[in-house]
Structures are given as structure tokens and as C-alpha cells.
Structure 1
Amino acid sequence: MAIASPTSSGRRAAAREHAKNARHAAYRDLVVEAAAEAFARNGVAATKMEHLAEAAGISLGTLYSVYKGKAEIIDALHESRLREIHAASIEAEGAATAPLDALLAGSRAYLAYFLERPDYLRMYLDDGANWGVRRSMERTARRGAVWGDGVAQLAAIFARGIDDGVFEPGNPDRLARTMLAMQQVLLADWYEEGANAPQHQVMDEMEVLLRRAFCTTDARTR
């Protein structure tokens, strides 16, 4: 009988581990998307782990093998959505060369994501985090890391704009977080007032606020 070499045994073990990790990653993604629909339909508080397993089409045991509980699923959902928001904002900002144009384009992409997904906006607002406060947004490491990337991207735009004389002098990181807080207030009001105002109206109002809050006198009317 042939005896497998240590090298071939190691390769098989590595292949099994890779397959297991891929399977778990697929389950995690499946659960996140099922959770988004279940939370939107029933609310976060009323949705149990049993409901999430059923919605994802997996057993409760499999669900607990990839997530420890509902809090971890909520965190994974927020992380996933924040990555999408960050990617959309970066794409919009990258299409603009001037700092002010990049800031406004990124803001429109950011707002559009939430305005097109009012159910997720409600969930994100109900989470109770203050979007511009580091301590609040970094309560969980994974979500906090993505949020931090977004703040850094905005801060870099503010730094360029300050150097170009477009934005008033200030701490770029603080200016970035102030902008996020402003967007939270505007989106919260939009939702609480019935989510009826057209998207372009919300975006235009945000642009006016951003110009007034951050731009130099000359840049406000450009």
C-alpha cells in the first residue's frame, strides 16, 4: 500500500481547510443578505436567530458555526454596507480633480446610497451611533476600521482643499467627521419627515450646507 508523502498530505489538508473557509465565507455572505431583508421586514428586535437561519436556508447549527449571535450579524451587515458606501464615494471622488468637486461628488454618492435604501437607513439610524464621533463609530473593530477609512479619505480631500485655499483652515480629520455628522442629521430628518423629498433636493441642500460650512468666501459661489 502506497504511503502518502508528508508533502501530499499537507496539500490535501490545506485544500480541505481552504474549502472549509470558502464555504464559511459563502454562508456568512448569505446570512448577511438574508438578515438585511429580514431586519427590513420585521425589525431588528423582532428577528431571532431562528428566523435568520430560515431566511438564509441553512440550519440553526450552521448559522451558529459562522456567527456567534445576532449582534455579530448586525455588525457584519453594517461593515458590508459601509464598504459599499466607501467604494461608491471613492469612485465618485476619483472622477473629480478639484477638492471641492471631489467633496461634493462624494457627498452625493454617500447620500444616494442611503436615499435609495430607506430600510437600511432606518436600521443604521436606529443603531444609535453618532456618525461623526470616533468613540461611537469604533464600538466594534470591523465596522470602525471601515468608517476610519472613509474619514481618512475625506480628510485627505479637506487637506488638499485647505492647501488650495478652497476650504477654511482647520483640522482635516475633524472637518471630515463634522461633514458625516451633518449628513446624518439631514438623512435622519428626511426619513422622519416621511422620506418623500426627492433625492436631488436632499443632495442640493447638503451642497449648500457644505459650501457654507467649509468653503472660503470666494469658493462658496464657484
Structure 2
Amino acid sequence: MSVVSVAEARHAMYRQQVLNAAEIEFGKAGFADTRMDAIAATAGLSLATVYKTFAGKGEIWDALHKDRMDALLASVEGSGDEGQSGLDRLLASVAAVARFLADNPAYLELNIRVGGWASSYHQAHGVQRSVWSAGIDMLAAGIQHAVDADRLPAIRPQIGAAMVVSALQAWLTDWVVQERDRDIDVVIDEMQQHLRRMLAGSR
């Protein structure tokens, strides 16, 4: 059995502190206007320690989005049930995304600040671009499966995926603006009903 060295454990701890702090600071100011010294102050670390942990702001941004996307995908993969219809499985995946973002408020606010989730992901910075693109592709595959399996009204998968992402942005942004005035399950239920009507038509 291998034992993690003290240096490795310390580096892992610093890495997590920096990422958590960066998530907050990026949510406040966006990527371009966030300063490394602000990240260091929020992390409770010296600027030198931050630079020993990450080469720069771009590396922090990329690591943050990769970590969050890995966690998000893990939560989505555990949603839904084999016995469900294609549409129900898709909606379960959307609910998992919404719950993940609700459970990670700093990451949600970071993405709200960026805006245009469905339309401007190709303009995102660094790894965020590939993260958002992968998310759109995953939803598009779910849309196509639902159309094929449930004989739903035909829709181009990328368009359907963009509509789902737009709904996520609209409902979650409103929830944050309204200071989280209701349980996230209520928000998710409203959004799922809307998406069901939109994707299934009169069915």
C-alpha cells in the first residue's frame, strides 16, 4: 500500500483551497478581472504559495472547470433508470445538472456571470469551452435517444440541447435572483414540466 507523502498531501490541500477560492472570485469578477492576489487572500494563502501550486490564472481556471465537470458527469451518470422512457431519462439528467449546480452555489454564480450558456459556449475561455461543448453534446445525444425511443416530434438534437440549456439558465438564474426563495426541487419540477411540454408537444 502506497502512502501519500506530507508534501503531496500539503499540495493537494493547497490545490483544493485555491480552486475553492478561485470559484468564488471568478463568480464575483469573471475570468479577465479576477486577480491572483484576490484568489490568494480568499484562500488564506500567500501569493507565492498559490504560484507554487498553479502556474497562473489560466491553469487555475482550467483545473476548476475540469474538476467540476468530472463531478457533474458523475452525478448525471447516476441519474435516471433503465425502465424509464427516453424523455424521462433525459429529464432526470437535467434535474441532476440543476441539483449539482444548486449544491455548488459558487460554481452556479460563476456560470450565471458568464451568461449565454447555450449560445456562447464556443467563446468560453480555455477548458470551459470544451466542458460546455461536451455538455451540449451529451444533451444532444439524450434528445436524439428520446426522439427515437419515444417517437417524439423530430427536432435537430443540437437545437433541442440548446433549448434545454437555455431552460436551465433561465430557471436557475431566476432562482438565484429571487434569493433562492423556494426549494430547488420546486424549481426543477417547474422546469421539467416546461421541457416535457416543449419536447413532447401535445403528447
TM-score calculated relative to the size of structure 2: 0.77
Look up the equivalent residue of 1:178 and give its one-letter code.
Answer: M
| TM-aligned CA deviation for residue 33 of structure 1 | 2.4
| TM-aligned CA deviation for residue 182 of structure 1 | 1.3
- Corresponding position of 1:39: 25
Which of residues 136, 140, 143 in structure 1 aligns to 2:125?
A: 140
In structure 2, distance between residues paired with 1:143 and 1:32: 14
- Corresponding position of 1:12: none
Poorly superposed stretches of 4+, deviation over 6 Å: 22-25
- Corresponding position of 1:162: 147
Q: Contact (CA 8 Å) 2:40, 2:46: kept in 1 or not?
A: yes
Q: How many pairs does the alignment contain?
A: 194
Q: Contact (CA 8 Å) 1:158, 1:167: kept in 2 or not?
A: no
Moved more, 66-75 or 158-167: 66-75
| TM-aligned CA deviation for residue 23 of structure 1 | 7.8
Does residue 79 (structure 1) correspond to residue 66 (structure 2)? The answer is yes
In structure 2, distance between residues paired with 1:160 and 1:198: 30
Q: Contact (CA 8 Å) 1:99, 1:157: kept in 2 or not?
A: yes
In structure 1, distance between residues paired with 2:122 and 2:116: 7
In structure 2, distance between residues paired with 1:86 and 1:173: 19
TM-score calculated relative to the size of structure 1: 0.72
| TM-aligned CA deviation for residue 56 of structure 1 | 4.1
Alignment of 1:1-222 (within 5 A): 26=12, 27-36=14-23, 39=25, 43-44=28-29, 48-56=35-43, 58-93=45-80, 97-126=84-113, 128-133=114-119, 135-218=120-203
Look up the equivalent residue of 1:205 and give its one-letter code.
Answer: E
In structure 1, distance between residues paired with 2:121 and 2:135: 15
Look up the equivalent residue of 2:22 and give its one-letter code.
Answer: A
In structure 2, distance between residues paired with 1:47 and 1:159: 39
Where does the alignment leave 5 or more consecutive residues of structure 2 unmatched? none
**For the pair shown, which has the larger CA radius of gyration, 1 or 2?**
1
| TM-aligned CA deviation for residue 195 of structure 1 | 1.3
Where does the alignment leave 5 or more consecutive residues of structure 1 unmatched? 1-18
Moved more, 46-55 or 161-170: 46-55
Give the SS at the match of 1:194.
coil
| TM-aligned CA deviation for residue 147 of structure 1 | 2.1
In structure 2, distance between residues paired with 1:207 and 1:84: 22
The 3 A distance-change label for structure 1 pair 206 and 106 is same
- CA-based RMSD of the aligned residues comes to 3.1
Identity %: 28
Q: Deviations over 1:149-194 (max 9, x none)?
A: 2222222221111112443201112211221111101111111122
| TM-aligned CA deviation for residue 28 of structure 1 | 3.5
Look up the equivalent residue of 2:115 and give its one-letter code.
Answer: A
Moved more, 65-74 or 175-184: 65-74
